[in-house]
């Protein structure tokens, strides 16, 4: 199965063994630091017009008039899940090669929980994000989206690379023939560093999903 980057489901907030303690501590820590509250998650029921409209939302980049990637048909709009089982070396090197590489690296990789709240730096909770870990490190999805957009521009990542097209859409895209066809049609730096391109799209999709759906992102 490997490690995944996932959106936290509603039932996880009541889980007392895995993410429950960190999720319980998170709202109070945000308010204590004057960062406000986590946004309310959309309440549209599956199959309703509102739910379908939410699934067709333009995402953060579309609202800014920048690139938008297609969503896979049938992917649940309120779930994000992609595998994080590729080597990280090329992606880490790409982050650090930028003029503010340490900031980009931290925004994208130095967290256990990514939240749809706008702040700089890192919050460290007094409880772990999973059993046996240290205090959960929390960062802003706004900062992660900003960093991932920067890397997408450097790699010239084409619009056909799915960022938030439903669970495992990106994983399947790179594992199948779609990536090869896209490389032939849209040559660029991204095809020379497929692992870096994969993680750029993954974290961009995760951050966009967090902001659009009001979800916390975690590893699972």
Query: Rounded to an integer, what distance in angstroms lies between the CA atom of residue 85 and that of residue 27?
Result: 30
Q: What is the pLDDT of residue 36?
A: 87
Q: According to the model, what pLDDT value does residue 63 have?
A: 27
Query: Comparing 55 with 27, which gets the higher pLDDT?
Result: 27
User: Which has the higher per-residue pLDDT, 209 or 57?
Assistant: 209
Q: Given pLDDT bands bounded at 50, 70 and 90, which one contains residue 215?
A: very high
Over residues 2-13, the mean pLDDT reads 87
Element containing residue 139 per DSSP (H, E): strand 135-140
Q: Is 65 or 84 the better-scoring residue by pLDDT?
A: 84
Taking only the tens place, the pLDDT of each residue in 30-74 is 999 999 888 875 444 344 333 433 343 333 333 233 333 333 333
Q: What is the pLDDT of residue 19?
A: 84
Whether the per-residue pLDDT at 28 is higher than 60: the answer is yes
The DSSP secondary-structure symbol of 14 reads: G
User: Which pLDDT score is estimated for 1?
Assistant: 54
Q: CB–CB of 12/183 below 8 Å?
A: no
Radius of gyration of the chain (CA): 17
Question: Sorting pLDDT into bands at 50, 70 and 90, what band is 220?
Answer: confident
- Residue 132 pLDDT: 80
Tokens at 75, concatenated: 């992917």
Mean pLDDT for all residues in the chain:
83
Rounded mean pLDDT, 187-215: 95
Average pLDDT of 193-211? 96
What number is the average pLDDT over the span 65-86? 61
pTM: 0.83
**pLDDT by residue (tens digit) across 129-165?**
887 888 999 999 999 999 999 999 999 999 999 988 8
- H helix runs in 56-114, sequence order: 59-63, 89-97, 101-109
Residue 71 makes CB contacts below 8 A (sequence gap 6+) with: 55, 56, 162, 164, 165, 166, 169
What percentage of the chain carries pLDDT values higher than 90? 65
């Amino acid at each position: 199965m490997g490690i995944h980057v996932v959106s936290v489901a509603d039932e996880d907030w009541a889980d007392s063994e895995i993410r429950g303690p960190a999720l319980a501590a998170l709202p109070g820590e945000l308010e204590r630091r004057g960062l406000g509250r986590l946004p309310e998650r959309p309440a549209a029921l599956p199959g309703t017009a509102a739910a379908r409209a939410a699934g067709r939302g333009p995402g953060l980049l579309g609202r800014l008039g920048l690139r938008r990637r297609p969503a896979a048909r049938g992917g649940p709009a309120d779930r994000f899940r992609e595998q994080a089982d590729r080597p990280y070396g090329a992606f880490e090197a790409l982050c650090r090669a930028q003029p503010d590489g340490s900031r980009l690296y931290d925004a994208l990789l130095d967290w256990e929980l990514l939240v749809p709240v706008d702040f700089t730096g890192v919050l460290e909770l007094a409880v772990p994000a999973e059993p046996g870990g240290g205090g959960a490190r929390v960062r802003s999805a706004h900062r992660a989206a900003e960093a991932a957009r920067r890397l997408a521009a450097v790699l010239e990542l084409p619009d056909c690379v799915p960022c938030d097209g439903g669970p495992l859409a990106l994983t399947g895209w790179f594992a199948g023939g779609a990536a090869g066809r896209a490389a032939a049609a849209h040559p660029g730096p991204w095809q020379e560093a497929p692992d870096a391109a994969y993680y750029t799209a993954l974290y961009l999709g995760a951050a966009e999903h967090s902001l659009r759906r009001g979800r916390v992102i975690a590893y699972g």
